[in-house]
Structure formats: structure tokens, C-alpha cells
Structure 1
Amino acid sequence: MSGIGPVEPANSTDAEHSWDVIGTDASRPGDRLARRWNRLPPGRRRAVVAAAVITVATASALALPQTLAPDPHPPPHDPAPAPTPWPATVTAWHYLGRAEPANSPGKTRRFRFAVTVERGPAVTLRVAGTSYPGLTARAVPGPAFTVTAGTPRGTTVEITVSDCSALPPEVDHPFLDVTLRNARAIQHHSFIFGRAYARDLSDLFRTACGPRTA
């Protein structure tokens, strides 16, 4: 036999049966709040609404600066590439010695050097002069040459005595005037060499100009 009988109350005193509660007549919280709100006088309702608006506005104002504040831990950025160096700061000259034997005749002699570029783009060099007006200098075989970073290059400089009266009896702190160019700039620089170069240049002076007094 099938059918649905009447629903017994949940708190039945029948000890032999148990029943599931499928509904209740107790008032819900929302209904109780609505009845309380309706019982408030109009002036009290307006005061409650105004207080709620002020509370929400204050909370929003306090949270806004934190929202707009910069992130104390910004995401990492790739480092900026290093700028191209000045050619004179990364280029070095080293004197290697004479290309001809000592006391070779004539007013022209060749001297050997090693040129290095430490880093950065390639540097193009041109020998422009020497420390004395009575000398001329040029790189051979060509007037200009290029050196790449990390690869030393040997070069020969040909020096000729053009005016003995403009030369001192002894050489002191001789140098070469060089023009350097890379992707960043063109610079004029003087490379100073030590005693070995000074001794060999003095030998050229004596051979070309003969003995002289200071």
C-alpha cells in the first residue's frame, strides 16, 4: 500500500519511532530584522543609514592610499647595456723594438709596436706625429689600421728625421700622436714609451744628424 500520511510533530513522545524534521515554523533572522526595522521611527532610520554611509566612506578612504602606493618590491628589470667605451681608454701601445739593426745608415728607421684593445667595438688608428717637430711618422704599410678587442695586433711605425735643428741631443719621454676612432667617438691621444724606445730613437738622431752639443 502506498500513500503519504499526515506529518507528525518532530518532538513526538512515541518512543518506537523517529521522524526527520522537514520544516519549522520558527522565524528567520532576516524576517526578525525586517520587523525591527519597520518598528523604528523614521528619524532613527535616517540616522542609521547616515552612520552606515559614513562608515563605508571612511573605510574606502583608508584603503585608497594603500591601493595607490607603489609596490615596494617592483619586478626586476633587465640591466641596461654598458655604454660604448671611449677609444683612448681601452687602447694600449707596447714598444717591441727596432725593425733594423742599430746604427743603420739613413735618416729613416722603423720601430715595431703591439696594439691592444681591451673591450668594446674595434678601434681604427692612424699615427699622426711624434713628440718632436723635426720628425715625421707614419704606420706601414698603410696609414691606418684596425684592431679588434681581445686580439693584439703588431704594427710598424716608420720615423724619418726631417730637421736636425728641431731635435734635442738626447730623447726624453718620447711619444707618438695617434688618432683613434670607434663607434662612439674620434679622439687624439699621445702614447708615451719608456727607456728602450728613447734609446733607439736617440740612436736614429745620432746617425741622421751626427754628434751635437746641448
Structure 2
Amino acid sequence: MSGIGPVEPGEGTTRARDTHNDPAPERTSRLARFYGAHRRPLLAGAAAAVVLAGGCLYATRPHAPQQAAPVPPFPSQVVDVTYLGGHSVPPGTRPRTFAFDVLIGVESGPPVTVTRVSQPYAALSLTSAPRTPFRTESGSARTIVITLHVTECGNVPENAGLPFLDVTLRNARAIQVHSFILGRRYAQDLSQALQVACSNDSA
């Protein structure tokens, strides 16, 4: 046997770790035993935490905003006025008075109320039956009798040209004054009625 013992590490070198004196295996075995003893409770607790977290996320998830209701159309966009022809006046009606029928229809949207009907000539007065205001439902139409009275023959037009009615309309969207041109037939009938009404000097 040689008297030379184990080689000592030189200066500046580090001794290799003695695994027999390392307490890590003992700590590892204690952790393993702890995990084995408490494995099921730990897993159950972790699963419950995940479920609760998911429930909280679901409960606090913001709801999608409700879609806004569509805006109603302007009343002039859905109302139509059609000339139907002359209307006889009741016996005993004052002179220089004549009448005609129009059809007022509402195509769609909310109901429309007619609050006023007028015409552009200062020498004529106008009334309607039914009297304003009156209401027309969506998808329906009603016949209106327009009665005109000549107040001053000297100022009535000799040729009515393309006369119109000013109709004030109201619905859930707005109030509008719209001019409806009733066409050539109405212009001819109005001109003829004015000539008849003012053919003599009777008031």
C-alpha cells in the first residue's frame, strides 16, 4: 500500500458535493409523502377554484347591448294625397261654394295625424270633413271632402295652373308642412268651378 492518501483539491478548486451528506433526498421524500397524503384534497380544491373562477367570469360577463328600435320615417315620406273628383254641396249652401274629394293614405310607419289643410289662394277659404285634426292608421286610407268658398272674385286666378294643398302632418318622428300637387285634372276642375262661382255678382 502506498502512503499517498486521497488527492486533495488544489487551490482555487471546489470540492464536489458529497451526495451521501446532501439533505435534499430527505426533503424530497417528505414532500412526496405530503403530496401523497394530501393529493386528493389538493386536486379537489384546485378544481373547485377553477369552477368558481369560471362561474365568476360568466356572471360578470357583460351582456350584449340591445339593438336600437328603428327610427320612424318622416310623415311626408309615407303619406299620399290623391284627387278623386268633384263633390256635390248640400242644398242651401251659400253661393260661390264648391267641394271635391281627396284620398289620404298612409303607406307605413306609425299613424299620421293631419292637423291642418290649406290652399295658396287668399280669395278662397277652405274647410274639410272630417275637420282637422284627424288621424289615419298605417296601411289605410280615408276620403276627405274639401269645401272651398270664394270670398272675393276679383282676386281669384283666371287659370289655376297647378294648384296644390298645404297639409300639416304629424307622426312620432316629426311635424311637417307638405305641399301636395293634385295634378292636371284637379287644376281643370278648380278653374271651372271658380269661373262658375264668379260668373255673376252674387255674393
Query: TM-score, with normalisation over the residues of structure 1?
Result: 0.58
Q: Distance in 1 between matches of 2:94 and 2:148?
A: 13
Matched, 1:99 2:99: no
Task: Write the mapping of 1:55-204 to structure 2, written as runs, cut at 5 A.
Answer: 79-100=67-88, 106-204=95-193
Q: Secondary structure at the match of 2:140?
A: coil
Q: Taking every aligned residue pair, what percent have the same amino acid on both sides?
A: 37
Q: 1:74-122, CA deviations, whole angstroms, 9 ceiling, x for partnerless residues? A: x986543210221122111001111129xx9931111111111121111
Task: Give the Cα separation in 1 of the matches to 2:130 and 2:75.
Answer: 22
Match of 1:53 in 2: none
**8 Å contact kept, 1:126–1:179:** yes
Task: Report the CA distance between 1:198 and its aligned residue.
Answer: 0.6
Q: Is the 8 A contact 1:117 1:147 kept in 2?
A: yes
Question: How much is the aligned-residue C-alpha RMSD, in angstroms?
Answer: 2.8
Identify which range, 177-186 or 194-203, moves more after superposition: 177-186
What is the alpha-carbon distance in structure 1 between the residues aligned to residue 153 and residue 109 of structure 2?
A: 41
Tell me the distance in 1 between the aligned counterparts of 2:165 and 2:101.
13
User: Which sections of structure 2, spanning at least 5 residues, go unmatched?
Assistant: 1-23, 29-62
Structure 1 unaligned residues grouped into runs of 5+: 1-29, 35-74
Structure 1 residue 151: deviation in Å?
Answer: 0.9
1:152 counterpart SS class: strand
